[in-house]
Structure 1
Amino acid sequence: MTPGARTQAAIELLDQIVAAAASGGAAADTLIARYFATRRYAGSKDRRAVRELVYAAIRHAGPVPSSGRAAMLAVADQDPAIAATFDGSAHGPAPISADEPRAEAGVAPAWLGEALTASGLDTARQSALVERAPLDVRVNSLATTRAAVLEEWPDADPAPHAPLGIRLPNGTPVEQSELYRAGLVEVQDEGSQLVGDALAAKPGEWLVDLCAGAGGKTLQLAAAMENQGALLACDIDRARLQRLAPRAERAGATIIESRLLNPGQETEMLSDWAAKADGVLIDAPCSGTGTWRRNPEARWRLTPERLTRLTAMQVQVLEIGARLVKPGGRLVYIVCSLLDAEGAEQVAAFLSRHSGWSVEPSGPAIATPHGSGRRLDPATHGTDGFFVACLRAPC
Structure 2
Amino acid sequence: MTPAARVQAAIELLDGIITAAREGGAPADRIVADGLRARRYAGSKDRRAIRELVYGAIRACGPVPENGRAAMLRLAQVQPDIAGLFSGAPYGPAPVVAEEVAAQGGVAPEWLARRLAASDIAGEEAEALLGRAPLDIRVNTLKAARDGLTLPVDGEALLAPNGLRLPAGTPVEQWEAYRDGLIEVQDGGSQLACLALDAQAGETVVDLCAGAGGKTLALAAAMQNSGTLIACDTNRQRLSRLRPRAERAGAGNITELLLNPMREMEALEQWRGKADAVLVDAPCSGTGTWRRNPESRWRITAQEIEKLSILQFRLLEIATGLLRPGGRLVYVVCSLLDEEGSQVFDRFTAAYPEISATPLTLSAGRSRGRGMRLTPYHDGTDGFFFARAAKV
What TM bracket, shorter-length normalisation?
Answer: over 0.9
The amino acid that maps onto 2:39 is: R
Q: Specify the alignment match of 1:355 in structure 2.
A: 353
Name the SS for the 2:294 alignment partner. Answer: coil
Query: Map of 1:118-197 to 2, 5 A cutoff?
Result: 118-149=118-149, 151-159=150-158, 161-197=159-195
Checking the alignment, whether the CA contact within 8 Å between 2:153 and 2:166 is kept in structure 1 is no
CA distance in 2, matches of 1:154, 1:72: 35
Provide closer, same or farther for how the CA distance between residues 157 and 279 of structure 1 changes in structure 2, counting only shifts above 3 A: same
Q: How many pairs does the alignment contain?
A: 392
Query: What TM-score results when the alignment is normalised by the length of structure 1?
Result: 0.97
1:357 is displaced (CA, Å) by 1.4
Letter of the 1:41 partner, please give it.
Answer: Y
Name the structure 2 match of 1:20.
Answer: 20
Deviation at 1:152, TM superposition (A): 2.1
CA–CA separation in structure 2 for the residues paired with 1:57 and 1:389: 35
Task: In structure 1, list runs of 5 or more residues that go unmatched.
Answer: none
Q: Which residues of 2 match residues 205-224 of structure 1 at below 5 A? A: 205-224=203-222
The correspondence of residues 1-395 of structure 1 with structure 2, limited to 5 A, is 1-149=1-149, 151-159=150-158, 161-362=159-360, 364-394=362-392
- Which one is further off, 228-237 or 69-78? 69-78
Q: CA deviation at 1:145?
A: 1.1
User: In structure 2, what is the Cα distance between the partners aligned to 1:40 and 1:59?
Assistant: 26
Deviations 1:345-366 (A, max 9, x none): 0011001110131111125332
* Letter paired with 2:391: A
* Cα offsets for 1:136-156 (capped at 9, x unmatched): 11110100111233x323442
Q: 2:106 & 2:71 partners in 1: Cα distance?
A: 12
Q: What is the CA–CA distance in structure 2 between the aligned matches of 1:123 and 1:318, rounded to whole Å?
A: 32
- Structure 1 CA distance for aligned equivalents of residues 57 and 144 of structure 2: 41
Cα distance between partner residues in 2 of 1:216 and 1:42: 34
**What is the rounded CA distance, in whole Å, between the counterparts of 1:218 and 1:97 in structure 2?**
54
Q: 2: distance between equivalents of 1:317 and 1:190?
A: 24
- SS in structure 1 of the partner of residue 35 of structure 2: helix
Is the Cα contact below 8 Å between 2:144 and 2:182 reproduced in 1?
A: yes
Contact 2:17 2:28 in 1 (8 A): yes
Distance (whole Å) between structure 1 residues aligned to residue 76 and residue 122 of structure 2: 28
- Which is worse superposed, 162-171 or 79-88? 79-88
Instruction: Give the TM-score normalised by structure 2.
Output: 0.98
Tell whether the 8 Å contact from 1:76 to 1:83 is kept in structure 2 after alignment. yes
The superposition leaves residues 34-59 of structure 1 with CA deviations (integer Å, 9 ceiling, x where unpaired) of: 11221222111111111110111111
**Paired residues of 2:60 and 2:78 also in contact (CA < 8 A):** no
Aligned CA-pair RMSD: 1.0
Question: Which stretch shifts more, 260-269 or 216-225?
Answer: 260-269
The answer to whether the Cα contact below 8 Å between 2:207 and 2:231 also exists between their aligned partners in 1 is yes
- Percentage identity across paired residues of the two chains: 56
Unmatched segments (≥5 aa) in structure 2: none
CA displacement, residues 42-77 of structure 1 (integer Å, 9 cap, x when unaligned): 111111111110111111111111100000001112
* Consecutive aligned runs of 4 or more in structure 1 exceeding 4 Å deviation: none
Letter in 1 for 2:48: R
Q: 2:305, 2:78 → 1: CA distance?
A: 33
